[in-house]
Structure 1
Amino acid sequence: MEEYEFRVYRISYATRDSEEGQNSKIASKVEESYRRVNRHRIPIKLKTFCWLNFVTLVSILITIGLYIWAGCIHDGTALVGLATMSLSTSVASLSARWYPRLSGRSSQAEVPSGDVIIRTRAGAFILVYGDDDVIRELYEGMEDCEYMFKGNTHHRLLGTSTLLLMASIILLSNCGSEMQIAIGVAYIILNALYWLLALLVEPRDLWDMSRYKIEFVECRPSTPDSSYTETLWAVINMTGSVEWVANGELIPQTPAWDQWLQEAKEHIGKDWDPVRRKDELMNPRLAYRNGRWFD
């Protein structure tokens, strides 16, 4: 977002199934067991058709191509080395498999709207309208990662992967020069693809957020004359309250700013110049006449 920009969004559940948490199906038995115990924890999965899965598919196809080439030139050592390397990577990925979890409400009691205001480091503001369930999941609740395998199981998988990796290094170092070059080029290409994936692809293009419906309400664009005070007043005027300003420590705790905030509350919905009034409070000796300040 640009400096001193102000945007308003409304987020809700896309379907009733999403609201009830029924569309959060998890494939494995481990994840299914966890879901039964923790129904108020919502897993977020990758999109089926995303760039990460595309790169994974390319990796599989390259590996198959290397297998075929090793078979064509009758390099048995390379075949075994590729097999152990593939198993090592698969086991390591399985041991570290995880998905992000969002906090949901376990209580079914009625709660008021849970609108939230976000301030960026550039002084821009985002106002998000939504009920408490949605806001808790996305902004206020605890978020963490759920690993499929923990404890001894994780350690065993990681140890197995390490042993397979060492074996594959020994085998590939003793295969033919043609296969060594081919495998080296393949891994350079894959590393480049994963680097490009991290640099160019946004997280929103990877994670499946179809659970939510995001509506753009309005935007107050930034201009060369925009200021933090003016943007803050726009948000106050939109929300109709000032309590969140003090609670969020969005202004200095000084008598002048406290007075400005009180007057802002009194002028909600009215025509008011917040920047001029702020300057008057900060510089009580100055007088404002005909668009100019006089001492």
Structure 2
Amino acid sequence: MMRFLKSYSDTHLDTVAFLAILGEGSILANAQVASLSRLFYLPRLLPAPQALLRPSRPAILAPHIADVAGVQSGNHKRHVNHVAHVLINGEAFPKHSVRVYKITRNSDAAPDLPKAKTKAPLSVVALLGCAFSLALLILSILMDDGMALLATILLSFLSTVIGIGQKWKLELTKRTSRDTVPPGDVVIRYPKGNFLVIKCTEETSRELYFAPEEIEYQITRPEIYRLISLLGTLMLMFGVICLGSATLPLQICFAASYMLLNAAYWIVAALPHKLHWNLTCFRVEEQKIEKPEPTTFTEALWQAIAVTKSTEWCKTGKAAPTTEAWNQWLHDAEVQARTVEQYVDPTPCTTYQLPDWNPQEALRELMNPSRV
């Protein structure tokens, strides 16, 4: 005969502690930007805290796959720096599309470096976890549940210990020379064949695209960080043991809290990363190309060449095959690009007016074996 619960006392939540260590993916999705904020120190319930108790900390921010080439500088990289990707997410644009943006430093903005937003979804979930901790602390005292009280204290202050070990600040390499800053335009080619053209100075391109994003941790010595991680691990283990020994009503409260927090963190992980960053130190202006949206890689490559009026970056970033036909096509494309005009429309927005040249047909003729 099938057995069902007949009364409240038949409920068993011996495995409720497992809920405290579920949800690593949602925590890691925004762990780096979260640890930029001072709210990371806040005592609170944190799902899957073991995901942040690593033997070593990341030395860089997570990069994104793309081919980055400097138009004038000749610089080349195989990935986009994290902050630059958050500022303009080129992966989100359609296949074979070309987008042009001008990025300048915003001298009136504060702060002068990328920071974590204070009013952001990550702040909301941090405050939610703190509210649950406070509620559980009060309930544990009112219900005389010592084990639940210990579990609340250990699991809540675990986030503070993690915050001490993981807190960091971002440093972007700046140009030290006081000479006139030359153009530093950048072309980014993504795996699905779309291009992102960035019009900027050499200083800005170095900060965002070519210089490494330096992570400066508050705790610099690795041995001290490992001791902090050990303390955090012990707090997690003892907290889970205490939680498993708490009374049934408090276990239900813990279970509900962790389920709600896991759901909240998964929702936040699904949001665009830009919502968590304060990037007001940069001003971004979109520019337009007066041509239909490209449908092939060749058309997209031509539009990127037309905007930059150069093909050197194609060779640096190996954007085109090194055959005789393609080399001739690149030469012809550069000649055509010199005739590109630009104007400011009433929006106002800088717009590029391309010549009446068919890049696909030109390449087809160059590849025709019967061509004289």
TM-score (norm 2): 0.66
What one-letter code is carried by the residue in structure 2 that aligns with 1:274? P
- Residue in 1 that maps onto 2:271: 201
Offset at residue 168 of structure 1 (A): 1.8
For the 8 Å contact 2:97–2:194, the answer to whether it is kept is: yes
Distance (whole Å) between structure 2 residues aligned to residue 90 and residue 273 of structure 1 = 61
Alignment counterpart, residue 326 of structure 2, candidates 239, 253, 257: 257
* Structure 1 residue runs without a partner (length 5+): 25-41, 288-295
Cα 1:73/1:275, change in 2 over 3 Å: same
Offset at residue 209 of structure 1 (A): 0.3
For the 8 Å contact 1:4–1:222, the answer to whether it is kept is: no
- Residue in 1 that maps onto 2:140: 70
Offset at residue 153 of structure 1 (A): 2.2
- Residue in 1 that maps onto 2:25: none
Distance (whole Å) between structure 1 residues aligned to residue 332 and residue 128 of structure 2 = 61
Tell me, yes or no, if structure 1 residue 274 matches structure 2 residue 359: yes
- Residue in 2 that maps onto 1:132: 202
* Segments of 4+ moved more than 4 angstroms: 219-223
- Residue in 2 that maps onto 1:33: none
For the 8 Å contact 1:85–1:168, the answer to whether it is kept is: yes
Offset at residue 85 of structure 1 (A): 1.6
For the 8 Å contact 1:5–1:220, the answer to whether it is kept is: no
Cα 1:17/1:68, change in 2 over 3 Å: closer
Q: Give % identity.
A: 31
- Residue in 2 that maps onto 1:39: none
What are the within-5 Å matches in structure 2 for residues 161-176 of structure 1? 161-176=232-247
What are the within-5 Å matches in structure 2 for residues 146-157 of structure 1? 146-150=216-220, 151-157=222-228
- Residue in 2 that maps onto 1:284: 369
Cα 1:17/1:93, change in 2 over 3 Å: closer
* Structure 2 residue runs without a partner (length 5+): 1-92, 340-354
TM-score (norm 1): 0.82
Alignment counterpart, residue 112 of structure 1, candidates 177, 182, 187: 182
Q: Compare 189-198 and 52-61 and name the one that shifted more.
A: 189-198
What one-letter code is carried by the residue in structure 1 that aligns with 2:324? P
Alignment counterpart, residue 53 of structure 1, candidates 93, 112, 123: 123
Superposed CA deviations along residues 66-124 of structure 1, whole A, max 9, x for unmatched, are 11221221212211221122122220232122344432223333331101111112211
Offset at residue 169 of structure 1 (A): 2.3
Identify the structure with bigger relative contact order (alpha carbons < 8 Å, sequence gap 6+).
Answer: 1
Tell me, yes or no, if structure 1 residue 8 matches structure 2 residue 95: no
Superposed CA RMSD: 2.1
Distance (whole Å) between structure 2 residues aligned to residue 201 and residue 167 of structure 1 = 34
Distance (whole Å) between structure 1 residues aligned to residue 291 and residue 150 of structure 2 = 60
Distance (whole Å) between structure 2 residues aligned to residue 244 and residue 139 of structure 1 = 15
Cα 1:17/1:206, change in 2 over 3 Å: closer
Offset at residue 241 of structure 1 (A): 1.7
Distance (whole Å) between structure 2 residues aligned to residue 88 and residue 276 of structure 1 = 64
